[in-house]
Amino acid sequence: MVFVVDDDASVRRSLARLLKSAGYEVESFPAAVAFLASGRHQQCPACLVLDLSMPGLTGLELQERLATLQSPLAIVFITGHGDIPTSVRAMKGGAVDFLLKPFDDTQLLAAVARAVGRTRAAWKTTAELTAIRHRYATLTAREQEVMAQIVTGKLNKQVAEALGTVEKTIKVHRARVFEKMQVQSLAELIPLAAKLGLLG
List 76's β-bridge partners, or say none.
Answer: 49, 97
Residue 81 interacts with other proteins (CB under 8 A): yes or no: yes
For other proteins, the binding residue among 2, 5, 15, 74 (CB under 8 A) is 15
Q: How remote is the C-alpha of 45 from its chain's centroid?
A: 11
Between CA 112 and CA 124 the distance in angstroms is 18
Residue 157 interacts with other proteins (CB under 8 A): yes or no: no
Residue 105 interacts with other proteins (CB under 8 A): yes or no: yes
Q: How far is the CB of 30 from other proteins (least distance, A)?
A: 13
Q: How far is CA 37 from CA 119, 163, 175, in A?
A: 20, 50, 48
Q: Which stretch binds other proteins (CB under 8 A): 20-28, 29-37, 38-46, 156-164?
A: 20-28
Residue 58 interacts with other proteins (CB under 8 A): yes or no: yes
Identify the CA nearest to 59 among candidates 95, 11, 27: 95
How many positions of this chain bind other proteins (CB under 8 A)? 25
Q: How far is CA 106 from CA 18, 28, 99, in A?
A: 10, 20, 11
Q: How far is the CB of 16 from other proteins (least distance, A)?
A: 9
Q: Which residues bind other proteins (CB under 8 A)?
A: 7-8, 10-11, 13-15, 17-18, 20-22, 53-55, 58, 78, 80-81, 101-105, 108
